[in-house]
């Protein structure tokens, strides 16, 4: 069974938002389920700092042994930071998806967008749990 932390928000496309110590700022990555489905991650393409994305707009790609997949921005926002550690070790997405394997730090444009995301229970139901 996939790890689904209760304190995160999720999309049906398997991205998550994790609150930070700063209001309206979240870490975005892919879920444990998603990394498991992809297999060994070999490359992650992430956006430039300061880039803004609309809700569900592609913000990058993730390449694994099995497939290349788009990464979708869960809510409208601006990229404040990218995880440079993934350049050197993309496998962090596999080993620690909710920790060292985060992808972007996002300043959310409209907190109301968060209401459209799934909580842990809803995400588990989405996975068929």
15-52 tens-digit pLDDT: 999 999 999 999 999 999 999 999 999 999 999 999 99
- Across 61-80, average pLDDT: 96
- Across 115-124, average pLDDT: 97
Residue 10: is its pLDDT beyond 70? yes
Element spanning 105, H or E: strand 104-108
Sign of CA dihedral 94, 100, 106, 110: positive
Residue 1: is its pLDDT beyond 90? no
- Record the tokens describing residue 60, joined without a space: 């990058």
Domain boundaries, the chain: 9-124
pLDDT value at position 94?
Answer: 97
> Angle 98-102-105 (CA atoms, 0-180°, nearest 5)?
125
**CATH number of the structural domain 9-124:** 2.40.50.100
Among 108, 39, 99, 113, smallest CA distance to 69 is for 39
Percent of the chain, pLDDT > 90?
Answer: 95
pLDDT value at position 129?
Answer: 73
Sign of CA dihedral 76, 10, 72, 81: positive
Residue 2: is its pLDDT beyond 90? no
Q: Whole-model pTM?
A: 0.96
Model pLDDT for residues 82-100, shown as the tens digit of each residue: 999 999 999 999 999 999 9
Cα separation, 3 vs 51, in Å, equals 30
Q: What are phi and psi of 79, to 5 degrees?
A: -75, 120
Cα separation, 102 vs 50, in Å, equals 17
């Amino acid at each position: 069974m996939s790890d689904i932390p209760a304190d995160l928000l999720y999309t049906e496309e398997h991205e998550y938002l994790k609150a930070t110590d700063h209001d309206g700022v979240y870490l975005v990555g892919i879920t444990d389920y998603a990394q498991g489905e992809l297999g060994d991650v070999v490359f992650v393409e992430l956006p430039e700092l300061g880039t803004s994305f609309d809700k569900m707009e592609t913000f990058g790609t993730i390449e694994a042994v099995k497939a290349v997949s788009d990464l979708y921005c869960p809510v409208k926002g601006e990229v404040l930071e990218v995880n440079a550690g993934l350049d050197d070790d993309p496998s962090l997405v596999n080993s620690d998806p909710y920790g060292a394997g985060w992808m972007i730090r996002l300043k959310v444009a409209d907190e109301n967008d968060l209401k459209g995301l799934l909580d842990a229970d809803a995400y588990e139901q989405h996975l068929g749990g």
